[in-house]
Amino acid sequence: MWRALFVSLSRNRTMKERVMRWGFVWRAASRFVAGERLEDGLRAIRELEAMGIGGILDHLGENVESAADAMRATEDYLLALDHLTALGMRPHLAVKLTHLGLDIGEEICEGNLRRVIERAAQVGTVVEIDMESSVYTERTLRLYRRLAPQYPNTRVAIQAYLYRSREDVERLIEEGIARIRLCKGAYQEPPHIAYPRKRDVDASYVRLMERLLSAEARQRGAYVAIATHDERIIQHALRRIAEWEVPRDAFEFQMLYGIRRDLQISLARQGYTVRVYVPYGTEWYPYFMRRLGERPANVWFVVRNLLRA
Ligand SMILES: Cc1cc2nc3c(=O)[nH]c(=O)nc-3n(C[C@H](O)[C@H](O)[C@H](O)COP(=O)(O)OP(=O)(O)OC[C@H]3O[C@@H](n4cnc5c(N)ncnc54)[C@H](O)[C@@H]3O)c2cc1C
């Protein structure tokens, strides 16, 4: 109910135009978004790197409506890669396929994605494909499958709340391209597509995580980025990793900018690979709405900023 409200707000243009003008909303959003410019994203990543934490740079944007906008987004990613190279930085990049034109056509999107992945490969970094709502799951996996065998510097996100994810994970393991960022899922999905109850989503997460950490999956090249702030699941992962002697190069932990910094630092200090997803850009509204939808307490954070204004 709560999530449904904010996911629906995230798509509402009138709200977007209104809300983005209110300074106190931006102040609240800036807990989760590094800033509006590339330099803001890079500054946040530098700060993380100083603490032994890697970055995943996300240029905010989704559901572009023209080929020209998709091209512009692609050029922005290429420009970001040039900047990173000049600065000697190698954070991963996160891309949303609807930012690169998936709503316009699969071919346009594939061409744009290929350019970003190729340039990332040249400079020695990785492109992580975010997973959006279930309307895009099939097409996102199809594009990933087409490019992943040729480009080992690609990964894809899988959402534990989708019923289909079990089969998707099996198929990717089978094909030797299970380089997966495992998350719970941030959109609003109907009960015939996704587990409606949190406890079932968590159970599915643990099942998929264990499968990807298993010796059999690892032998087929599986790599899992455990993308969650759920301490119970992280502790469970650490127990399994120790028990099954999973090598450090078969997994990592990932979290979002502005969430559970304490946990990010603690895992990095214990010597685990930790990467933080750092969004930047002017299109922060839908991303921020999804963060509000995940946690009712975040709305008080907005209200506090309003009262302070
Ligand atoms: C690196 C990364 C990449 C992601 N990529 C995708 C993607 O491609 N597609 C997709 O659908 N989803 C993505 N997500 C979002 C994910 O699906 C969840 O919606 C989000 O991570 C919250 O779930 P949780 O696993 O942290 O567990 P929860 O059980 O929701 O939360 C566990 C704890 O984390 C903290 N927490 C969680 N969310 C918030 C919040 N918004 N504000 C403050 N504290 C919070 C709280 O302490 C909470 O008790 C990504 C998440 C991460 C970490």
Q: Is the pLDDT at 298 greater than 90, yes or no?
A: no
Region 90-119 average pLDDT? 97
Q: Is there a contact between 120 and 154 (Cβ–Cβ < 8 Å)?
A: no
Between strands 274-280 and 251-256, the pairing is parallel
Amino acid residing at 146: R
Nearest-CA residue for ligand 1 atom 41 is 291
In a domain, 269, yes or no: yes
Region 102-111 average pLDDT? 97
In a domain, 55, yes or no: yes
Give the residue numbers spanning the domain of 189.
Answer: 34-283
In a domain, 306, yes or no: no
Ligand 1 centre to CA of 275 (Å) is 14
The CB of 186 under 6 Å from ligand 1? The reply is yes
In a domain, 215, yes or no: yes
In a domain, 10, yes or no: no
- Token pair, residue 87, equals 């600065």
pLDDT score at 9: 80
Structural domains of the chain, count: 1
Q: How far apart are the C-alpha atoms of 181 and 175, rounded to whole Å?
A: 17
- Token pair, residue 182, equals 């495992």
Ligand 1 centre to CA of 221 (Å) is 26
Q: How far apart are the C-alpha atoms of 187 and 159, rounded to whole Å?
A: 10
pLDDT score at 222: 98
Instruction: Give me the DSSP letters along 31-100.
Output: TT---SSHHHHHHHHHHHHHTT-EEEEEE------SHHHHHHHHHHHHHHHHHHHHHT---EEEE-TTTT
Nearest ligand 1 atom, CA 254: 1
In a domain, 180, yes or no: yes
Nearest ligand 1 atom, CA 185: 17
Among 16-25, 63-72, 277-286, the least confident range: 16-25
- Nearest alpha carbon to residue 125 among 158, 70, 80, 177: 80
In a domain, 179, yes or no: yes
Catalytic residue from among 58, 130, 168, 202: 130
pLDDT score at 7: 78
Confidence of residue 165 (pLDDT cuts 50, 70, 90): very high
In a domain, 162, yes or no: yes
Q: How far apart are the C-alpha atoms of 278 and 41, rounded to whole Å?
A: 6
- 72 an active-site residue? no
Q: What is the pLDDT of residues 187-217, one digit of tens each?
A: 999 999 999 999 999 999 999 999 999 999 9
- H-type alpha helices, the chain: 2-10, 13-19, 23-29, 38-50, 67-87, 106-123, 137-147, 165-174, 198-213, 215-219, 231-243, 261-269, 285-294, 297-308
Q: Is the pLDDT at 294 greater than 90, yes or no?
A: no
Q: Is the pLDDT at 96 greater than 90, yes or no?
A: yes
Mutation probe of ligand 1 site: the residue of 134, 259, 275 with most atoms within 8 A of C-beta: 259
CATH number, position 260 = 3.20.20.220
Q: Is the pLDDT at 224 greater than 70, yes or no?
A: yes
